[in-house]
Amino acid sequence: MLTHRAAGCVSMTKQKTNMETPISLDDILSLGPIPEHLHTTFLRVANGLVQRADYSREKAMGLMAQMLQNPKKFAYSKNKVTNLARSIYDMNKQGIAVPLSETGVGHLPPEPAPYVLNSAKKQLENAFELRSGPLPYAVFGREQIEEGALRQMETAASLPVSVAGALMPDAHQGYGLPIGGVLATEVNTIIPFAVGVDIACRMCLSVFDLPPAFLKREPHLLKKSLMEQTKFGLGGETREKFDESVMDLPEWRATKVIRDLKDKAHRQLGSSGTGNHFVEWGLVDVYEHDDHLNLPPGEYLALLSHSGSRGFGGNVANYYSKLAMQKTKLPKQAAHLAWLDLNTEEGQEYWIAMNLAGDYASANHHEIHNKLAKALGEKPLAMVENHHNFAWKEQLADGREVMVHRKGATPAGTNVLGIIPGSMTQPGFVVRGRGNADSINSASHGAGRLMSRTQAFNTLTRSQWNKALTEADIQLVGGDLDEAPMVYKNIDTVIDAQRDLVSILAKFTPRIVRMADANRKEGRED
C-alpha cells in the first residue's frame, strides 16, 4: 500500500508540472543586451523558474527584468537569481552596462513608489479611466500599417489627457504609443513611453564639397575612416573627444539620476547604439536650390548617421517610465501610457533629463561627423539634423498649447528641415516640412518595419541578405539579419503617403554602411 500511495503522489506531482511554453533565447534577448557568454545561464535560470518554481512565463520574465534593472539588490540578497545577478553586477562594476530594452521595461511589474501613501484614497486619486471612445486622429498610409499599431493609437487617443493624435505611414507596434505615433496631450503632462526608450534618437547629415567620383576613387579611405572613427553597442566608448563641452552643461548636476549617469555618458560620447543605428557614406542628390537647405543643385559626397542618447537616455527612460506607471494608474491596455505631471518634482526631473538627452544626442552626432570630416581633411558645406523620439511644447492650429510626443516621427513644421532614411539598400530623403495640422506638424522617421527582429532571424538567410547588398552595390561593415533591407517597407511608398506633409529637397543613396557587429545586439532602439 505504501508503494501504491507513493506512486500516486508521483503521478499527482507530474500533473502539477508547469506546462508553460519554454522561454526562448529570443525572449531573453528581448530584455536587453545579454552578453553571449551568459545566454545559457539566463535560459537555464528562466526556464528553471517556470519548470521547477511554478512561475508563469510572465512572472519569470518579470523577475529577470527586475534583476537587470537592479542587479546589486538581487546580488546581495538570497533569491532565485542571486548568482546570475552577481555576474551582471560584476559587469556593471567593470563599466559594462546591461540596460533594459523597451520590451524589458514592459515586463517590470507595477509597484507602489516608496513615497506614495498606500491607502485606498491615494490609490483612487491616482487612478484614471479611458474615454468612452478615442478622439479623432489622422492616419497616413493606413493600408501599410499593421493592426496592432492602429489599436495602440486608438488607446492613446482615449487617454483623458489626450488632445490630438496622428499616425505616420511607417508606423508599427511598440510599447504604449506605437512607433510612428504622434500624440498631443495637455501641456502639463508628459508620457515617458510616448517619447521612447532611446530618448532623442536622431538623424544627422553632413554634405561635403566632394563629387561622386571621390567615393569611387577612395572607397578604402572612406571605409577605413568608419572603422577607425566609430564605436557601436556594448563597450562602445571613445577615449579621444573632438568637443566635450556638452558635458559642462549645468543640467548634469540637476538630479541624482543624472549625476549617477554622467560618467557613463562621457565615456560613450561620440559612439552609436545597436539595432537600426548606423553611420554611412553615400551620395546626396540635391534636386533644386532651396533657401533653407542652401545648397546648389548637384550630387555630393555625404555622411549620414542615426543614433541617440545611448545608455544615458536609456537609463533615464527606464527609471521615469516605471515611476510614471507607479504614479498614474491606468487600465491594463493603457498602462504604458502613464504620464508624469510637469507641476511635480518627478515631472520636472524627467523634463530636465529628456532635454539634456537631446543636447547630448546632438553632441554625439557632432563628435562622429567632426572626426570623420577631419579624417578627410574637409569641412561640410551643410549639416541637417533632427530628433525623432522626443516631446516638445507646441501650439496646435487652434492656438491651444500642448505637449507633442513624437515617438519615431520627424518634426515637419512649416519650413523645418528633416531627414527620413530608408534602409541599408534604400535611399533616404532630405525634407522640408509643410506644417500640416492633421499630422500635428509631423512626418515619418523612416520606412518602417515589415517584420519583427525575431521574424527576420527565423525567415531570412544570409545568402538572401548578401544578394540584396550586392545588387544595391552596398559595402556593409557589421549588421545582422534583423536589419536586412527586406525587413523594411518600401520607402517610396511611405514617402508617397506623406506628400502633403513634406517637400522632398534631396535624395541620399547609401554606399558604405557601418553598423554594430552581430554580437553586440542591445535589443530594439527605434
| Dihedral, CA of residue 106, residue 57, residue 130 and residue 124, to nearest 10 | -90
Is 46 a known ligand-binding residue? Answer: no
Does the pLDDT at position 479 exceed 60?
Answer: yes
Q: Which residues form the domain of 46?
A: 13-98
201 domain-assigned: no
Higher per-residue pLDDT: 97 or 157: 157
372 domain-assigned: yes
Q: Which of 98, 115, 147 is the last residue of a domain?
A: 98
Query: In total, how many domains does the chain have?
Result: 2
Is 445 a known ligand-binding residue? Answer: yes
Average the pLDDT over 283-298 and give the result: 94
Is 401 a known ligand-binding residue? Answer: no
- Cell numbers describing residue 336: 504604458
Indicate the range of 15-19, 401-405, 443-447, 514-518 predicted with least confidence: 15-19
Does the pLDDT at position 12 exceed 90?
Answer: no
Is 430 a known ligand-binding residue? Answer: no
473 domain-assigned: yes
Is 276 a known ligand-binding residue? Answer: yes
Q: What is the pTM of this model?
A: 0.80
pLDDT grade for 19, boundaries at 50, 70 and 90: low
Does the pLDDT at position 343 exceed 60?
Answer: yes
The answer on 247 and 366 residing in a single domain is yes
490 domain-assigned: yes
Average the pLDDT over 432-459 and give the result: 94
Does the pLDDT at position 42 exceed 50?
Answer: yes
The C-alpha angle 499, 409, 411, rounded to 5 degrees, equals 75
Is 424 a known ligand-binding residue? Answer: yes
The answer on 507 and 365 residing in a single domain is yes
The answer on 227 and 360 residing in a single domain is yes
Q: Which of 98, 132, 167 is the last residue of a domain?
A: 98
Is 448 a known ligand-binding residue? Answer: yes
Q: So which residues are the catalytic ones?
A: 445
Q: Report pLDDT for 35.
A: 85
Is 522 a known ligand-binding residue? Answer: no
- Cell numbers describing residue 117: 501613501
Does the pLDDT at position 525 exceed 50?
Answer: no
Q: Report pLDDT for 106.
A: 78
The C-alpha angle 404, 435, 490, rounded to 5 degrees, equals 85
Q: Report pLDDT for 14.
A: 36
Q: Report pLDDT for 1.
A: 37
284 domain-assigned: yes
pLDDT tens string 129-147: 999 989 999 999 999 999 9
Q: Report pLDDT for 3.
A: 38
142 domain-assigned: no
Q: Where are the alpha helices (DSSP H) in 157-255?
A: 192-195, 212-217, 219-229
Name every residue whose Cβ is closer than 8 Å to that of residue 401 and which is 6 or more positions away in sequence. 187, 393, 394, 395
401 domain-assigned: no
Indicate the range of 33-42, 193-202, 246-255, 297-306 predicted with least confidence: 33-42
Q: From its phi and psi, is residue 191 left (phi > 0), alpha (psi between -120 and 50) or beta?
A: beta
Does the pLDDT at position 238 exceed 60?
Answer: yes
Q: Report pLDDT for 144.
A: 92
The answer on 362 and 224 residing in a single domain is yes
Higher per-residue pLDDT: 448 or 175: 448
Q: What is the mean pLDDT of the chain?
A: 89
Instruction: Please state whether beta strands 340-341 and 189-190 pair in parallel, antiparallel, or not at all (unpaired).
Output: antiparallel
Does the pLDDT at position 122 exceed 60?
Answer: no
Average the pLDDT over 63-92 and give the result: 86
pLDDT tens string 260-282: 999 999 999 999 988 899 999 99
Is 418 a known ligand-binding residue? Answer: no
Average the pLDDT over 89-103 and give the result: 77
Q: Are the CB atoms for 178 and 345 separated by under 8 Å?
A: no
Q: Which of 98, 131, 151 is the last residue of a domain?
A: 98
CATH of the domain at 487: 3.90.1860.10
pLDDT tens string 291-303: 999 999 999 999 9
400 domain-assigned: no
